Amino acid sequence: MRPIKHAERGLTLIAGGLFNAIQSVNKYKPNPSFTPKWSDKPLLKSWQKSKPTLGWPRTTDSLCPNCVIEAREEIISGKKDVAVLINEKVGEIKAQIIERDGEIWMIKDCPVHGHFEDMMAIDSKFLNHIEAMFPGRDIDAHNDEKLHNHGSSTVKYGRGAVLTVDLTNRCNMMCDPCFMDANQVGFVHELSMDEIKEILDNAITIKPRRQMSVQFSGGEPSISPHFIEAIKYSRKVGYNSVQAATNGIEFAKSKEFCREAAEAGLRYVYLQFDGIGNDANSHRQVGNLFDVKMRAINNLHEAGVEIVLVTTLVNGINNDQVGSIIRFALDNPKKIAFLSFQPVSFTGRDEEITEQRRLQQRYTLSHLAHDVKNQVGITEPTRDWFPLSLMGAFADFADLVHGPQAEWGQVSCGCHPNCGVGTAVMIDKELKEMRPVPEFLNIPGLVKDMQKITDAARGKWMSNVMMGLTLLKHYNPYKSPSQFTLYELFKKFDKSFGLTGKDYGKVSGDRSKDDIEKRRSDRWNFLFIAGMWFQDLFNYDFRRTEMCIIPYGTQEGEISFCAYNTGIGWRNIIENMHQNATVAKWYQEHGRHEIFAGGKNVELSDKNHGMILNEIDLMRPNKPQMEGPKTAHEEAVMMRKLYQEMVLNKQLNTKEADKPVQIKGLSRKKEEPAEAVLV
């Protein structure tokens, strides 16, 4: 034990006593909240924040999976006007959220289509802990009437943390699962640069005017002809960071493309990453997909772009990869600083999934917390995990310190506690020593005291002093990494929220390579492990939709992520309304883009990557085995085979059943030929 640890422990005890003494006076007559330039409403005190009904049993508003699909088809076919979604409660039914045998379930009944139920958590104590830590909703969205007007699906609180913009529905892969059903809807929907600018301009008119990020998605955004220009424009008009959700193929193929994107202002790449080794990625049907991921990470990091690994977790398919991916990040702390695990949402290609496969493959946030403990041996589910919305308390404090003249509010993750959870690990980049942050920093106590400081609203100097004291009060130096110090703790906090104005390297649009290297020179990697669970029709909850922090920017306004991709299906409707052309016509005019599927390899000029790989994880000794069809495609093959055998009395082998079928495009021009695609 280093002597400095004993000295730090003494400081923490003194700081705790001093904080409590000051707070005993500070709590009286708190200053009123100011109204910042970025809002027309004052900052909220902690006791003013509203909350949805939590706990169980509880009743909420949900959707009938079958009614929704029928209504959507009527709108797309022209039988009904899209206005019914704004003026009527289409497909809406009540749902009960209950505890059953230590698990949490959603159960609901439609008078037409009967009974539905699905699991929300395998551990009721975990979800109870997460909901208990929810700090409350963000400021109500205002000046947003033109962008937030989608009936029951309307976003009502805050203004989001990340604006998602789909540049194109074209993709260079054919994944299953795919929440947007890329390449298979029969038409192309691709934004023009003018449309992209309008969406970006509109988003920053909403108040509260948060310092929001923008994530370009798709399809595969990197194949849009406007990808680079869209990045440049986002930085120009003031977005905090520009991100791209990508499969990494284009970035793996070209260092020059990575450099061009980085110079345009691309700060983060959300890289689709299903596991360690090509076997763990084999369900994506690209022969060398893991090699692609390694090369993409190498090229992007070299160009100055930060990498977030994004993993869709499907029970029985790749749930064994939680530990492997975390170990990969721990072994490569200089290149990986964020993991985003996303339990599968049965939508897009999987919307009409069979009940048997759905219940087999359902994976929840509670699964994730337990898998981290069981597969890596770190964190306790009911101690070390918190709702993502807890970060809103940190944003509230930073908003107070930055004062009423700030042009932008802090990014605030004010989502429903059932939407996302997170924990963090502090890693020494040099020694590879790590400790879960909640082991040496009492997060619940820190947040509680931080809310007291924010509620008192004593001004920047006093608030920063009090914040320093509460950080000391809740820090346990004996459980932190051996080389970690109080100075590093304060620096990490200041670096994240810019409280003192010290230069750690700019993150603004005019940042340079020197700024990037300055930020990367930090010895300590704060590895954030997040779980973000998007809804599907079987667990849909409108209380979550109205608090969405990652809305989609579209030609028809900003729509909750889940309402767009699931819900009533705004994606299907809007993309159909604003389609550019049928796939056939698009190919005639623009040619075909390359698609990697059916085991096809991506040609790489260089396979070197410099990443450290765990040999045991590469062998995948605990690969899950699931009986029956594993994808929507396999289910379709099985159903065609059964139909031929049972109805037509004709025997088919699997190869014969696995033939492409004609899917009619949703174009208004019925005379144009349909594209033959695999389903």
Region 278-305 average pLDDT: 92
Region 437-457 average pLDDT: 95
Q: Strand 552-554 and strand 524-532: pairing?
A: unpaired
Across 351-362, b (16+ Cβ under 10 Å) vs e yields bebeeebbebbb
Q: At 148, list the tokens.
A: 């937030």
Region 181-198 average pLDDT: 85
Residues sharing a CB contact under 8 Å with residue 234, sequence separation 6 or more, in sequence order: 200, 214, 242, 265
pTM, 2 dp: 0.91
Distance CA 259, CA 251 (A): 9
Q: What is the pLDDT of residue 372?
A: 97
Distance CA 361, CA 551 (A): 26
- pLDDT over threshold 80, residue 662: no
Distance CA 380, CA 542 (A): 30
CB 155 within 8 A of CB 551: yes
pLDDT tens digit sequence for 569-621: 899 899 999 999 988 898 899 888 888 888 899 999 888 898 999 999 999 99
Region 517-525 average pLDDT: 89
CB 201 within 8 A of CB 181: no
**DSSP H helices in 429-565:** 437-440, 443-456, 460-473, 486-497, 513-520, 542-545, 561-565
Distance CA 448, CA 470 (A): 10
What is the DSSP secondary-structure string of 369-413?
HHHHHHHH----TTTS-EEGGGHHHHHHHHHHHH-TT-SSBPP--
- pLDDT over threshold 70, residue 219: yes
Distance CA 202, CA 217 (A): 18
Distance CA 268, CA 228 (A): 14
Region 176-194 average pLDDT: 76
What counts of helices (H) and strands (E) characterise the chain? 25, 20
- pLDDT over threshold 90, residue 364: yes
Q: What is the pLDDT of residue 661?
A: 40
pLDDT tens digit sequence for 294-348: 999 999 999 999 999 999 999 999 999 999 999 999 999 999 989 999 999 998 7
Region 95-107 average pLDDT: 98
- pLDDT over threshold 90, residue 664: no
pLDDT > 70: percent of the chain? 94
Distance CA 242, CA 236 (A): 11
In three-state secondary structure terms, 288 is: coil
Distance CA 298, CA 542 (A): 41
Burial of 589 (0-12, 13-18, 19+ CB in 10 A): exposed
What is the DSSP secondary-structure string of 175-233?
-SS-TT-TT-SSEE-B--HHHHHHHHHHHTTSBS-B--EEEEESS-GGGSTTHHHHHHH
- Supply the DSSP symbol for 313: E
Q: What is the pLDDT of residue 635?
A: 75
CB-CB neighbours of 214 under 10 Å: 27
Q: What is the pLDDT of residue 177?
A: 60
Residue 443's pLDDT band, with cuts at 50, 70 and 90, is very high
- Supply the DSSP symbol for 143: S
pLDDT > 90: percent of the chain? 70
Q: At 276, list the tokens.
A: 């360690």
In three-state secondary structure terms, 669 is: coil
Q: Average per-residue pLDDT in the chain?
A: 89
